[in-house]
Structure 1
């Protein structure tokens, strides 16, 4: 228990409405614990957009400055270290145990709200399955427990009856019909994160196969697609164009096995005695750049492929991973690239209900056609005489510039900066167009920037390219 620490973090979040500056800083408290190698584990969301991180041991009155070594957004784990040797004195690192079983007892230790001293809550393992990780916007193996997990518990360890760490507390379910439903990140996911960091001296992430699939539980569906009564699997609906699998797999292929493990018609694979789990668990056990052997059924014939596994390239990224938001301003029109944090900033935590339907459709269903593709929008219009009549355009996608399809924000900025045509014509979604005279628009930009105290017409990452 002495290895459990309190984590103090000062955050400075990006300002997506005014991307040339940041929001007012704020502080948060969470939990963490010491592991071998002079390292501390906590949650990624506990140190996201950190400006300063400090840790304090149990019973100590000293806060030690910590350095963030790696942040795993998908798995919601962060690794810290402390350079001060005094911090590591008389500390016994936490040892990890194996994945618990149902009804095993667990004890969650941390520093939740309601007091300053360490807190201990107990419960049992209620469920083990592939779980939605809210912060990471991913689905990985998760353990559900009935021990209380409150704000501040995040990043704290969950111990079994032998005093071994079997997980990291990271989220709870708040619902009027649910009580005492908490979740911990299990040791297989923690081990993947640590091994990934040790191998690469950085966090590279969890790979994907790069497909969307459909269950094959209907007998007529199986028969129509040429499956025998002894064959099982799932139907591939779509393949990510940016994934290596795109060159080998096709829509309506039947995925029958992954790395030699048969996939059932409902998409599950054997897990432990008497248990089954979604086959995405097998994919998440691999590391980026590794190869997997898949067996498919195509036109009634079995085929096997060796497929490279890579990180997910989303059209609308779930995170910007500490980078400041990109923006480009012309004649008061602010262009930006859409991400989930952008949508959350604009429309609140219920962005998946309140954001424009077309943007949500892109978020939920569209796939990147290339590695550098972005969803570029007119974020807002800083009102000026030059842009009169366009001031109501907000969060509308920019489809083309002078009839050239827009790939990403850098591409748009380059096209505009190098344009010598008499007019700048932006083709927007909903068949809208914005037209400005080239020389007048470019000449008006500096004055508008000065009026709004904006230091530059474009973010630093675009300046490098332009």
Structure 2
């Protein structure tokens, strides 16, 4: 073989080796993306209000018929300027507080929703979500999860990190914030979560979601992502009637959140819980849009649920529907200016309530509260439940009666119980 042939052969061999190396590099890159710092970040990890408004009230002798995408990531199927004040300390008893990702994973548990199908059968697992052990005190441990994880449960079981199953008591739930607090015997609880601050988060910051996607078979699964957005306002349906009746502010992340992750932890690089995984966008064309309740917003609710079992919110003492929900046979009872686009029609006034004392009546149409326009149940709730309004405060109501604009000043009262349906 002459020199030219040898050189050509050598060049061909070098090109083939280079091509092989490039293909190998590309393959490895596609199999394991290069994310600076994340090898360290995940090193050592092994595997793993009230009810919403439902108005069914009597108009004259008849009953008002109510005709009134995001989805919960929860139980595997079967269900300001100033920051929110944060509870300063949470007791840890004789348990260790998580200091890294691996320990944070040990503080995330499974939550089984048990329901009885008939009186002749034992309760069965109707769904499984996740929960976070955030406190241990006086031999008891406390777990925060989503309200929709424990909804309609007759019994609750918590599955600890060592697979031990223990019964749990539901201390309190709140549908609007989608939070619930559980209590269990803390004898076998060795680690509680370290709670960080969601107020310190930055868009692009690395986070991880810890939970039980698809149930306990994949318990303590950790998925990686970033903070995709802060203070996202998401309309939610808390009544199941297909109509949004509340807006919740959440953290958006692209960390994988699947059914069963609800109630699990969204943690930062130090293993601190900065959010409670709650829901995701579930559409075929959508990928990587999940949401978590900010821990700074959750903490005051958790504290109230733990102590009193419910969240006290102000009410004016009415049941109400939007104009377009009023049945045709009752619309002649309502007289409004032609240019009025919306309002909330009073269906019933609760005796001895603030509305009753202010002489509000059935068929009155509320259009403003303290100068803020009211056109939907969402507007009404957001106004009543804002940080500016507290039980005992007074508000000015603008309403229409028989076509005439009227105003009334009334005192906000507390809900009588957690099942109260009036606003």
Structure-1 residue corresponding to 2:115? 12
State how many pairs are aligned. 283
Structure-2 residue corresponding to 1:55? 159
- CA offset digits 1:14-33 (Å, max 9, x no partner): 55xxxx55576136443211
The offset of 1:235, in angstroms, is 3.4
CA distance in 2, matches of 1:187, 1:279: 26
Whether 1:80 aligns to 2:182 is yes
Structure-1 residue corresponding to 2:250? 143
The offset of 1:312, in angstroms, is 5.9
The offset of 1:152, in angstroms, is 1.9
Kept in 1: contact 2:314–2:412 (CA 8 A): no
CA, structure 1 residues 127+198, in 2 after alignment: closer, same or farther (shift >3 Å)?
closer
CA distance in 1, matches of 2:122, 2:283: 30
Stretches of structure 2 that go unaligned for 5 or more consecutive residues are 1-100, 325-335
Structure-2 residue corresponding to 1:167? 275
SS in structure 1 of the partner of residue 166 of structure 2: strand
Structure-2 residue corresponding to 1:379? none
Structure-2 residue corresponding to 1:44? 147
Structure-2 residue corresponding to 1:176? 284
CA distance in 2, matches of 1:110, 1:100: 21
Structure-2 residue corresponding to 1:304? 409
Whether 1:294 aligns to 2:399 is no
- CA offset digits 1:404-428 (Å, max 9, x no partner): xxxxxxxxxxxxxxxxxxxxxxxxx
Higher relative contact order (CA 8 A, sep 6+): 2
* Higher deviation after alignment, 173-182 or 132-141: 132-141
Q: How does 1:170-319 map to 2 (within 5 A)?
A: 170-187=278-295, 190-200=298-308, 202-203=309-310, 208-209=315-316, 210=318, 211-212=320-321, 224=337, 235-242=343-350, 244-247=353-356, 248=358, 249-250=360-361, 251-257=364-370, 262-264=371-373, 278=379, 280-284=381-385, 290-298=391-399, 299=404, 302-310=407-415, 313-314=420-421
Larger Rg: 2
SS in structure 2 of the partner of residue 33 of structure 1: strand
The offset of 1:151, in angstroms, is 1.6
CA, structure 1 residues 142+29, in 2 after alignment: closer, same or farther (shift >3 Å)?
same
The offset of 1:129, in angstroms, is 1.9
CA, structure 1 residues 287+10, in 2 after alignment: closer, same or farther (shift >3 Å)?
farther
CA, structure 1 residues 292+34, in 2 after alignment: closer, same or farther (shift >3 Å)?
same
CA, structure 1 residues 71+172, in 2 after alignment: closer, same or farther (shift >3 Å)?
farther
CA distance in 1, matches of 2:279, 2:367: 35
C-alpha RMSD over aligned residues: 4.4
Kept in 1: contact 2:123–2:155 (CA 8 A): no
CA, structure 1 residues 197+106, in 2 after alignment: closer, same or farther (shift >3 Å)?
same
Structure-1 residue corresponding to 2:236? 132
- CA offset digits 1:224-274 (Å, max 9, x no partner): 4999xxxxx9733225434835413452343232xxxx5257779xxxxxx
Kept in 2: contact 1:141–1:189 (CA 8 A): no
CA distance in 1, matches of 2:239, 2:369: 31
The offset of 1:155, in angstroms, is 0.8
The offset of 1:161, in angstroms, is 6.1
CA distance in 2, matches of 1:214, 1:105: 46
Structure-2 residue corresponding to 1:26? 125
- CA offset digits 1:33-69 (Å, max 9, x no partner): 1213531112233344253513323xxx352524223
CA, structure 1 residues 24+288, in 2 after alignment: closer, same or farther (shift >3 Å)?
farther
- CA offset digits 1:127-166 (Å, max 9, x no partner): 6225315577762524262422102211112235675534
TM-score (norm 2): 0.53
Stretches of structure 1 that go unaligned for 5 or more consecutive residues are 216-222, 228-232, 269-276, 315-366, 369-466
CA, structure 1 residues 236+267, in 2 after alignment: closer, same or farther (shift >3 Å)?
closer
CA, structure 1 residues 14+133, in 2 after alignment: closer, same or farther (shift >3 Å)?
farther
Kept in 2: contact 1:7–1:54 (CA 8 A): yes
CA distance in 2, matches of 1:135, 1:169: 20
CA distance in 1, matches of 2:171, 2:240: 15
Structure-1 residue corresponding to 2:218? 115
SS in structure 2 of the partner of residue 141 of structure 1: strand
Kept in 1: contact 2:314–2:414 (CA 8 A): yes
TM-score (norm 1): 0.49
CA distance in 2, matches of 1:13, 1:205: 31
